Amino acid sequence: MADQRKCPDCGSLEIVDDAHYAQNQLVCADCGFILTEGLLTTTFADEEHLREVSYSRSTGQNEQQSRCKQRGIRRVQDLCKVLQLPSTFEDGAVSYFQQAIQHPSFRLVSLEKKEMLVGCCVFVTCRQHNWPLTMGTVCSLLYADKDLFASTYLHLLKELQLDVPALSLTDLVKTHLNSFKLFQDSSSVPAKYAENKEQMVARTIQIMELASETWLVTGRHPIPLVTAAAYLTWQSLHPAGRLTCPFSRFCKLAGIDLPPPAHLRLTELHDILLRMASQLAWLRVFSLDRRSVAKHIGDLLQHRRFLLQSAFSPGYASKGNSLESSTPAAGDTAETMGVVHIESSPTGEKQECKSRQRPLLPPCLMNPRKIRRIAPSSSAPVITGDEPILDSEIEQYLRSQEEVEEIRKAQALY
């Protein structure tokens, strides 16, 4: 205060400006008389100029939570920031973490497992909001072991009884393609290899839908399949000059890793496309192989419904049997499996070929591994479990005295 004040009570001039907790007061230093008080609460007008501090940034939180919890919450927030997730995801993930850390099976474990828990909470939150995040991404960000991550994830689902919807393939395709460095705005790629992003995404999604209809997606890891589909799309959009570029070089250009199963997926996709191409009238005259079918993917995708039906329905005889990829033996195996065919309108071709069409089956059924079946021998006597045990049967499990002596000697030498 500029001008001196006098205490009304004792008359002293010693007035001190003091704060009692949050309240500013003018107090007489001699007798303690309060001259004026500030307001305890602020008005709306005052608060407009104040910046709100969130609880997590204030120090109030530090006093109430253990260090382990605080550290975990910070890690969750950092991970969300790195992945550029919306703030609602961050809150959700933090609340999951707080719930999970209460359980002794998550609190009394090694630091490595607590890191996994952080990743799992973020992963679960993303999946629940249908945000396409794969486990591979989270593991690579945390430098984590995939098996440990998987077991922590399943344990978390069980403890918190969470329900996680399935990974949406379309979103996964979009996110994965975003990481490719092939598009026109990137500078590292020669002009003939750069591609339009929207076209590529749209066609890759179509190929993925085709793959899911033809049993290539079920039970498989999605990323290698997306990579293979992206390669085919890229080749088909501008075939000139790209058909000779192999898969590994494509991945190097795009700046992504080539996962090992991707080659197998590519082979399977080629097989499906070749079979479809055999049904398309204007492609039958060409003898297509794996490389050249990429040129015609656009047409194949346009008519895929019809082509799938006609290529894989039973009773339709194909004219060119050079494209038959399976032997009649596989067809017989399929028959004995008893695949149910509900309907299938024959397309009116004559049934001249004796060999059957390959029905639409998962690839593992088309190349069945020889399972050594132990045939239940009906001639063997029925075992009840309570039969008497003869001494002679037991003798074979015991060493004779001479053998025991021999072994003792050998052990003594050793």
Partner 1 sequence: MDADSDVALDILITNVVCVFRTRCHLNLRKIALEGANVIYKRDVGKVLMKLRKPRITATIWSSGKVICTGATSEEEAKLGARRLARSLQKLGFQVIFTDFKVVNVLAVCNMPFEIRLPEFTKNNRPHASYEPELHPAVCYRIKSLKATLQIFSTGSITVTGPNVKAVASAVEQIYPFVFESRKQIL
- Binding stretches for partner 1 (CB under 8 A): 134-136, 150, 153-154, 157, 163, 166-167, 215, 217-222, 305, 308-309, 312-313, 337-342, 344, 359-362, 364-365, 383-387, 389, 391, 393-394, 396-399, 404, 407-408
Q: Are 124 and 91 in contact (CB under 8 A)?
A: no
The nearer residue to partner 1, 298 or 363, going by C-beta atoms, is: 363
Nearer to partner 1, 139 or 294 (CB): 139
CB of 378 to partner 1, least distance (A): 14
Q: How far apart are CA 7 and CA 4, in angstroms?
A: 10
The count of other CB atoms within 10 Å of the CB of residue 167 is 16
d(CA 68, CA 74): 10
- Tokens 């001494």, residue located: 391
Phi, psi angle pair for 103, to nearest 5° = -70, 135
Q: CB of 308: closest distance to partner 1 in angstroms?
A: 8
By C-beta, is 111 or 329 nearer to partner 1? Answer: 329
Considering the complex, state which of residue 194 and residue 301 has its C-beta at the smaller distance from partner 1. 301
Cβ at position 257, least distance to partner 1 in Å? 15
Print the SS3 string covering 173-218. Answer: HHHHHHCCCCECCCCCCCHHHCECHHHHHHHHHHHHHHHHHCCCCC
CA distance linking residue 230 with residue 49, whole number of Å = 52
Nearer to partner 1, 152 or 236 (CB): 152
CA distance 396 to 165: 57
Cα–Cα separations (whole angstroms), residue 326 to 233, 279, 329, 386:
26, 17, 8, 51
Alpha helices in 256-323 (DSSP H): 262-277, 297-302, 304-312
* Residue 119, burial from CB neighbour count under 10 angstroms (0-12, 13-18, 19+): buried
Residue 107 or 221 having the CB closest to partner 1: 221
Closer residue to partner 1 (CB): 12 or 309 = 309
Calculate ∠ Cα 375-378-382, nearest 5°.
120
**Min CB(147)–partner 1 separation in Å:** 9
The first and second tokens of residue 149, run together, are 């991550």
CB nearer to partner 1: pick between 133 and 194: 133
Closer residue to partner 1, CB minimum distance, 52 or 343: 343
C-beta of residue 175 within 8 angstroms of C-beta of residue 132: yes
387 three-state secondary structure = coil
Note the maximum CA span of the chain: 122
Shortest CB 73 distance to partner 1, Å:
26
* Phi/psi of residue 369, nearest 5 degrees: -80, 145
Nearer to partner 1, 146 or 291 (CB): 146
In the numeric block, which tokens belong to residue 404? Answer: 């025991």
Nearest distance, CB of residue 102 and partner 1, angstroms: 22
